[in-house]
Amino acid sequence: MIQFGEWLPDQADLLNPGVTVATNVLPAAQGYHSMNSFVEYSNAADGTIKGIFAAKDSDANTKLFAGDATKLYLHASADNDLDSVSKAAGYDLTDTERWRFVQFGDDIIAAGGTGEEPQVFNLGTSSIFADLGGSPPKADFIAVVRDFVWLANVDSGSGRVPYQCYWSGFNDPTSWTAGVNQSDFQNLPDSGAITGLVGGEYCTILTERAIFRATYTGPPLIWQFDKVVSERGCAFKESVCNVGSTVFFLDNDGFYAFDGQRVSPIGSEKVNNFFKEDFDSNYDYRMSASVDPINEVAMWSYTSTQSPSGQPDKIIMYNYVLNKWSLAEIEADFLAPMFSSGYTVDGLDNLSATVDGLSIQLDSRFFKGGQYFFGGAFGDKIYAFTGSPLAATIETAEAPLSTGKHSLITRVYPYHEGGDVTVAVGTRDTQGEAFSFGSAVSPNDAGFVPLRSQGRYHRARMNISGGWGKALGIDIEAREIGRR
């Protein structure tokens, strides 16, 4: 069997050790898994959603928040609406700003850029968001680091300082007076603007030309700042996502992972060149990045050069356990992990007028409430990757089946689990010619695809749709037919 190897678009098509196309699939140890379609989860907000956050209170009750340019919302499973929980004056985010949320105890804190006051919503007592107390700076980035709330790329009232970060008082997100209760700020003036902030036991601060780690030391120093990477930084602020202490990001020359000590290239000789040619950097502010820990993939939604309007239309995915990539042709304005709200039988009417119309199976844990799932937003609605499997395409490398001679392929045996398959074979006689594919053909009752495809160089394209689960590879039958 010719197994479907990893997607390596940066390698030459001829004798590529992997596959040249892997679209609408998830990487697997052998071949590829199906990827669920992106389906509506909520009713509409007033504008394009610019942030999503799932929270659980101390009693394990879940809430799902979202925000657009003018409002913050709370999802209500009773009617599937996004109910405004904005402060009375509302908000005014610019095109390049978005909402970023953290949870500190039972408080949800949101930063909406340097034009908005940080907002707070208590899961036990609040009905709307309010300005966070203590006069914190306005900020692009927010994170929780140990017992502190951090803000970075800030405006503290005297103008924007893109290389400055603040932290709150110890265990008090409303304490922001420098020198009081361990609250203070730090400038990082030699490495460009801060482009990412990731919390945890220590703070990872990504800048345009370096990466810093801030480690808690306690009074009097409070935090020790170390420039742990000086040879590169993060060029695109919306490209940062993390799983645990591992941070993924995009620099000008490709994708990287940072483990707290060192940076490792993860896209070199694999997808970096493909992405640089496919990514329309005029819309870099519309990129979104997040990690789906169930499928063990980091995802980046981006605007491709084929998009006619600047709408993000593709998602590139990296399985950080297998070190493999794939691509999806999906329009998504935002990516985020979520918790389901839980549905009664009557509440299912909010998702579909009929049982047959439900895009999610009735026995799915999705309906139980409090269950993790991965999704995001498209336009003014929350979406989820809970639909039926996407129709997918996998294309093998090109290879000569007999050195210097023509070959005739007569049969292809596709190996997959479930779904409907067609196979087409592409050929050419010389490396200077363009290759062309024959017609796509379905397997017959004997399980093979009957073909007559003649040429010196061959490649195969499998299209798979319906309720499929895995695509593993193909076998071929061919014979030499001489030199010409």
- Maximum CA extent, the chain: 85
Give the chain's end-to-end CA distance (angstroms, integer): 29
Assigned token pair, 331: 């329009």
Tell me, what's the pLDDT at 342? 53
H/E element holding 275?
helix 272-278
DSSP code of residue 284: G
Tell me, what's the pLDDT at 339? 84
pTM (predicted TM-score): 0.93
- Using CA atoms, how far apart are residues 285 and 303, in angstroms rounded to an integer? 10
Tell me, what's the pLDDT at 340? 74
H/E element holding 311?
none
Give pLDDT tens digits for 140-193. 999 999 999 999 999 988 899 999 999 999 999 999 999 999 999 999 999 999
Handedness of CA 217, 223, 229, 235 (dihedral sign): positive
Average pLDDT across the chain, whole number: 93
Residue showing tokens 């590829």: 32
Q: Are the CB atoms for 121 and 128 separated by under 8 Å?
A: yes
Q: What is the mean pLDDT of each run of 10 residues along the chain (484 residues)?
A: 95 94 98 97 97 92 96 94 97 97 97 97 97 97 98 93 97 97 96 97 98 97 96 97 97 97 97 98 98 96 97 98 98 93 48 48 53 94 97 96 87 97 95 91 96 92 98 94 65
Which residues are within 8 A (CB) of 64 and not within 5 positions of it... i.e. 6 or more apart?
Answer: 52, 53, 54, 55, 74, 75, 338, 339, 341, 382
Tell me, what's the pLDDT at 128? 98
Q: Are the CB atoms for 289 and 279 separated by under 8 Å?
A: no
**At 237, is the secondary structure helix, strand, or coil?**
helix
Q: Could you please report the per-residue DSSP string of 53-116?
A: EEEE-TT--EEEEEE-SS-EEEEETTTTEEEE---TT-----TT---EEEEETTEEEEE-BTTS
